Amino acid sequence: MNTLKGNTIYLRALEPNDLDFVFEMENDESIWEISNTQTPYSRFLIRQYLENAHQDIYEAKQLRLAICNNNDFSAIGLIDLFEFDPKNNRAGIGILIKNEDNRGQGAGSEALGLLIDYSFKQLNLNQLFANINPENTASMRLFAKFGFENIGTKKQWNLVNGHYKDETLFQLINK
């Protein structure tokens, strides 16, 4: 898979020249809560990660794609399939748009739609799930827009800055 193209954005595999972008995203402490990151990543580790980004989803058990505007190669966000489980035909899905300027413009919605379609049609997944902080109403609305159902709350699931926070589990079954 080289790219998945939409009307205003496309999804592409990570490239070696994404090093600075991924380094910046992974080391942005303001999003560590979303990404379950606890420590900074070195450029060396991210370079190694990018060198192995060619691994098949069946091998790596995850797929991370860059979200790009159609008029340019540079990334504005990342979208992931994680915890890929080919036996049970399911995976988690997560998305992050980097700058506030790029949020609310429809890129996240288009990217999510493209990856859902790819997951169900190409990977033949039966279901996708998303773990969302209940305070993140924008993400909850985005996933609900695509038919994800709130199937429950994991109480005191994540320890963030010394406080436990709930996490909501959303699920989409392939019809």
Please tell me the predicted confidence (pLDDT) of residue 3. 59
pLDDT band at residue 72 using 50, 70 and 90 as cut-offs: confident
Q: For residue 159, what are the β-bridge partners?
A: 164
pLDDT band at residue 12 using 50, 70 and 90 as cut-offs: very high
CB contact set of 30 (below 8 Å; sequence gap of 6+)? none
Distance CA 53, CA 50 (A): 5
pLDDT band at residue 56 using 50, 70 and 90 as cut-offs: confident
Share of the chain above pLDDT 70, in %: 88
Q: Whole-prediction pTM value?
A: 0.86
Q: What is the CA radius of gyration of the chain?
A: 16
pLDDT in tens, 87-118: 999 999 999 988 666 566 778 999 999 999 99
Please tell me the predicted confidence (pLDDT) of residue 100. 63
Mean pLDDT rounded to a whole number for the chain: 86
